[in-house]
Each structure stands twice: as structure tokens, then as C-alpha cells.
Structure 1
């Protein structure tokens, strides 16, 4: 890549970008400032996204606790949680806009732009195993919430509503994030930088598909209020989901392999 964008970053950032290149088999040379800037903004966004996920889990737990022992109106914490979910989605959109802004600035500084007939789609970025896993995890978490809503009363019913709101927020966040990743412009000037661009997209997409929050929410919110069969189902949901995720992670081709296949098409 071209070497501009405030020329060189801090040594730690350059070292991180260099190790990223070597890890993906994309060269032993020093990383360009453009690549370093793009990698660092993605690293910061992932950290902040983890904070947003933690905020959602804590807020959902607080919305549930607010219904204890018997408040006069349980609708207030539910409404507050709904508003917070919208705020978190907007915050996630701002993080995506930050990445897009850095990518566009990097693209504007390239001496020339690589042309490629195919913009990587969802099948390339995630692969069907990840797509199926993400869809099944969301469906499982939502089904747990619906089943709890159908059989529970009082505080447990309130917790089921909180769970459904939180799960819906997570699902919308993943959809919006994948939509943003698919829409990002290609930033590359040759085959090597094009491969690096696709690797970054695949990493972003796979990171967005990690279902940790969906595994956590049913256990955090409802396991103390539901009958034994539901608790067993929620634990089984986590165990089976983790096993499926590990299997997909192990069997799926690496990001660099998938990227090279996409570039060679």
C-alpha cells in the first residue's frame, strides 16, 4: 500500500500490524501506515464493541432486578431498556462509521485503486457454517425467551420480556454490522493489499458472528426463576452452542485461505 496517512504510527502499532501480516502469511516486510491505521481502528472498535455488549447485559440484568420484589409498574424498566437498546445500536453505527471513515481516508491516499469484478458477499465473508450457527443461536435464544414468556408469571414473565428485548437488540446489531461490512468500499492498490482488505472483512464478519451475548442472556436473566426443564434447556443451549462454535471455528478455512480464493476468482 501507499505510505502516507501521517506516515508512521507508534512502534507498538507498527509491531502489531507486522505481526498481523506474518500471522496471515501476507509478507515479512514492514506494514504500511495505511494498513496500520486500518488495523488499529478495527482493534479499537472491537474493544469498544465489547464494552457495548457488556453494557447491554448489565442493563438487561438491572431491568430485571428493577421488577423485584413486586413493583407497581414493570413497564418502566422495560421501556428504559428498549431506549437503551436503540442508543447502543446508534453507538454501534457510530463505530462502523469510524471504520468507514478511516478506510475512505486510506483509499483517498492510494496512488491507484485495484479493480476487482466481485465484491465479497456474505457467503465469502462468513461461509454457510457461520451463517447457520448465527441464525440457529439467535433462534435458540429467542425460543427460550418465548417459552419462558408462555409458562412464566410475575417476575419470571417480566424477565422473559427483558430477554426478548435484549435478544432482538443483539440480532439487529449483527444484521446492521454485517450490512455495513458488505457495503464497505475495497481499499487496495495491488493483489497483496486486496487480499489484506478481504482478510480484514472476513475477520470483522466472523467477529460479529460470535454468539457470546446470546449464550449469556438466558442464563443471566432467567435461570433462577424458571422450572428445571427450562434451566436444563438453557444450559444445553450454551453447551451445544459452544461445541458447534468450536467445530465451525476448527473446520472453517482460515481467513487468508478464504481471502485468496475470493481474490483469485
Structure 2
């Protein structure tokens, strides 16, 4: 582990309320793998926004048929979904390699489920954000302007692609084995799962897609609804963060054997 990785791991532990926890090669390897995975996932999601925007621009060109635009978009969305699946699997493989170096594995009756990893509040917020994005797309389909309806279809395809990618990543998180050798590293493992889940369900892309694809084309009432949804979503997310216990407290509570 390089000195930079060691400092990064030390800062991560301090930020999570574990200043006395040792910086280990296991922790350094897992944090490095997560940094790479998050950068790759961010690039994939950015690519999805760009592809959807290009599809919307192509629909303005009469030389492109609407059916061809949708086929290209669907193929690109499927490819991006596969990319997110590969990113999740690569991260799981990195954890397995790190775990294979341990001289022993922690034995504990902990199997973090969705209530621990994501939490009811974040799960409800994620579903609500998805529902709002779908509702915006469906409401745009009722507009008589064919350009708006085409953009609505593009929006719905992209939103469903984001939802499928998030579901894939969450499933990977919930099924991956625990990688730990003692109580401290077990706590760290649960904290990492919580952070990974909240990162996977980040609403930023679902907030961005409707604005990028349809604002400027859709009626005023639709634009007001789209921006209002973002404002209310930011307020709701801030409230959830304020009321949700820290990941360390959640991890320690999950480790209590009843």
C-alpha cells in the first residue's frame, strides 16, 4: 500500500468515527477498488445522459426515423447496463481477492439485508424518485407535440435503464460474502456496504434526465413539475440524511446478535 493510499484509508477511518482502527492492506485494497468502481460508474451514467441527449437531437433530424432512434437508444442503454453489471462484478472480485489474503475470516451471525445496507427511508426515497421520473415521462406522452412525445419515450427508456442498473448493483451488494477478519474489519465491511448502496441509489441522474431531455420543449406546466420535483427531492434527501443514523451506528447495531 502506498503512502497516499495509507493516508486516504486513515482519513476514511477517521471520517467514519474509527480513529483507533488500524490501517490494513485489506482496507487499502477495498477502498482503492471502490474509488475505481465509482469513477467508472460515474462515467457510465454520464455516457447514458449523453446518449439520451444525442437520441433526442437525432429525433429532430428528419433523416432519422423515430424507430431507428429508439432502437439505437435501447441498444446503447442495454450496453450501459451490462457495463454497470461488469463494474459491480469487478468490485466483488476485488473484495474476494482481498479476502483470500486473510489468514482467518470473521465468524459472526451477520448477514446485512436491505434494511441495514440501504434502510427503509433511503429505499422509499429511491422508489419515489424513480416513480416521479416515470410519471414525468408518462405525463409528457399526453402532450400533443410529437417532439415532446418522442422525448418522453427516450426519457422512459433511459430511466428504466438506470433503474435496472441500480437493481443489479444492489443485488450484488446483498449477495456478496462478508470480507473481514475481526470485529473492526467486520464493522468496516458493513459501513462499506451502506456507502455503496447509498452511492448506487443516488438520485442525480434521475433528476438530470428529465431536465436535459425535455425542458425547453415541454409545456410550462411540465417544466414547473420537473423543477419542483428536484427541489422537493433535494429537501427530502437532506431531511433523510439528517435523521438517518451514521453508518457506524447502523453497522454496530446490525452486529448485535439477538
Contact 1:18 1:28 in 2 (8 A): no
Contact 2:126–2:203, Cα closer than 8 Å, also in 1? yes
Partner of 2:29, secondary structure, is helix
TM-score (ref. length: structure 1): 0.94
Deviations 1:187-220 (A, max 9, x none): 1111111000000000000111110000011111
Q: Structure 2: which 5+ residue stretches go unaligned?
A: none
| TM-aligned CA deviation for residue 73 of structure 1 | 1.1
TM-score scaled by length of structure 2 = 0.96
Question: Considering only aligned residues, what root-mean-square deviation do their CA atoms show, in Å?
Answer: 1.2
- Which secondary structure state, in structure 2, belongs to the residue aligned with residue 66 of structure 1? helix
How many residues align? The count is 257
Alpha-carbon separation, structure 2, partners of 1:49 and 1:175: 14
Matches within 5 A, 1:15-54: 15-28=7-20, 30-54=22-46
Deviations 1:38-86 (A, max 9, x none): 0110011111111111111111000000011434511112111111111
Name which of structure 1's ranges 148-157 and 134-143 shifts more when overlaid on structure 2: 148-157
- CA separation of 1:90 and 1:69: change in aligned 2, threshold 3 A: closer
Extract structure 1 runs of 4+ deviating beyond 6 A.
none
Verify: 1:112 aligned to 2:104, yes or no. yes
For 2:21 and 2:58, locate their aligned partners in 1 and report how far apart those are by CA, in whole Å: 56
Return the match for 2:232 from 206, 230, 240.
240
Structure 1 residues 164 and 16 mapped into 2: Cα distance closer, same or farther (>3 Å)?
Answer: same
Q: Indicate how the Cα distance of structure 1 residues 219 and 107 shifts in structure 2: closer, same or farther if over 3 A, else same.
A: same
